[in-house]
Amino acid sequence: MRQLFALAVSLLLVTVSGALAQGSAKPPPSSPSSSDIVDKLTPPPPGGTPRSLTRGRVTIEAPPTIDMRIQFEIDSAKLDAVGIALVDKLGTALTDPKLAAYRFEIAGHSDATGDGEYNLRLSTQRANAVRDYLIAKHSIAPERLSAMGYGSSKPLNAGSPSDPLNRRVQITNLGR
């Protein structure tokens, strides 16, 4: 009798687990803290270790940047609750004294699924939505933030253009 009861409980757990896995939303991606964002976007000190890419004898310094998996409502430029929480962390970071004097580009990116023109338009709208939210909710001066949509033209994973990792908002420190 105990074996039958244990089998029934096991089957129930497997069934419930499967149903939850099929019907549940994806867990939100891990998100950086405000201090992580500050660290990623703070330029190295003069004479410090540059973030660079060397090609032959020419060294090209890359500006500090961070890719963020800011979430929006499906097929929309409206931030969802997870997206708002992440943009709030970004807002806290951009008002940190280490970053307060810098300008930033907010770049929207998409994967290659769907129409290219549509993806470009949506990525631009999403970049603008993040910019507008930061201005309205975190009182960041508009002249410190520019927004640009790139659609699927700059994939993070070029080997797989439809990879969901390509859907992101990239923040780049443009300097003073």
Would the pTM of this model clear 0.85, i.e. be above it? no
Domain interval for residue 142: 28-175
pLDDT tens string 6-54: 434 343 333 333 433 333 333 344 689 999 999 999 998 876 555 555 5
| Inside any domain, residue 141 | yes
CA–CA dist 22, 77 (Å, integer): 26
User: How many structural domains is the chain composed of?
Assistant: 1
Burial (CB < 10 A; 0-12, 13-18, 19+), residue 37, is buried
pLDDT tens string 105-127: 999 999 999 999 999 999 999 99
User: Integer distance in angstroms from the first to the last C-alpha of the chain?
Assistant: 74
| Higher pLDDT, residue 119 or 56 | 119
3-class secondary structure, 79: strand
Measured CA to CA in angstroms, residue 78 lies from 83, 117, 126, 133 at distances of 9, 19, 7, 10
| Inside any domain, residue 1 | no
| Inside any domain, residue 19 | no
| Inside any domain, residue 6 | no
CATH code, domain carrying 163:
3.30.1330.60
| Inside any domain, residue 75 | yes
| Inside any domain, residue 52 | yes
For residue 153, which amino acid is it?
S
| Inside any domain, residue 4 | no
- Rounded to an integer, the average pLDDT of 76-97 is 97
pLDDT tens string 122-173: 999 999 999 999 999 999 999 999 999 999 999 999 999 999 999 999 999 9
Going by C-alpha positions, the residue among 141, 143, 162 that lies closest to residue 152 is: 162
| Inside any domain, residue 23 | no
